Amino acid sequence: MKNTRIAPSLLSADFTKLADEIEMINQSDADYLHLDIMDGLFVPNITFGWPIIKQINTICQKPLDVHLMIEKPERYISEFAEAGADILTVHYEASTHLHRTVAAIKEAGMKAGVAINPHSPVSLLSEITGDVDLVLIMSVNPGFGGQAFIVNSLKKIAEVRRIFSENNDTVLIEVDGGVNLENASEIIEAGADILVAGNAVFKSANPMETIFQFKNL
């Protein structure tokens, strides 16, 4: 049975009870806590930055999976490292000098991820297959939670695995957007290693049980 990893997205949590929500994640079977950073420029929404992550890191016992949906992410690599990010993912579409950015993330002591939007072909990643630890496939257009899963993302998962198979067969494939218990099995079968789940976890009647169900599909 495949060891699928679950990364609940804090963006869907109740921010009036943030400490309680994080403690629930600590007690759950979740593998990571996924943190979406948006700047209102690269995507039409604004969330939070490294000062909040630094506070989250003081109480969260899971690795912090930080997803930068911001322009020129290379400007803030050291700040997110100091705040406690374990994985730092930048968008292909937002980073002009991607090799340099990925190298800087690793030099700062974090694992490096690259995300691609739904309209971006997987072939764009062919020149960095040996450099990244994680590929994040956006299965919705980034910027807001609660969107429906784009079915074509299933083909992209398999294509990432094929393109990376020669140079980096240990790369982790993460899928973010519209993931729920109804489609998770199909996403896993396509080759995903990490499922990011926001509303499916935090809006459920029993988030810890929902995480358990994800882990045991």
Number of C-beta neighbours around residue 54 at 10 A? 15
Assign residue 117 a region (left: φ > 0; alpha: ψ between -120 and 50; beta: otherwise): beta
Q: Specify whether 169 is catalytic.
A: no
Give the neighbor-by-neighbor strand order of the sheet with 194-197: 5-8, 194-197, 172-176, 134-138, 111-116, 87-91, 64-69, 33-38
Q: Which of 36, 39, 131, 133 is catalytic?
A: 36
Q: Three-class SS of residue 190?
A: helix
The residues, any chain, with a CB within 8 Å of residue 62's CB and separated by 6 or more, are 25, 26, 30, 31, 32, 33
Given 31, 65, 131, 176, the catalytic residue:
176
Beta bridge partners of 8: 197
Contacts of 209 (CB under 8 A, 6+ apart): none
Q: What angle do CA 68, 72, 74 make, to 5 degrees?
A: 80
Q: What are phi and psi of 202, to 5 degrees?
A: -75, -25
176 is catalytic: yes
Do residues 62 and 31 lie in contact, with contact meaning Cβ atoms separated by under 8 Å? yes
Active site residues: 36, 176
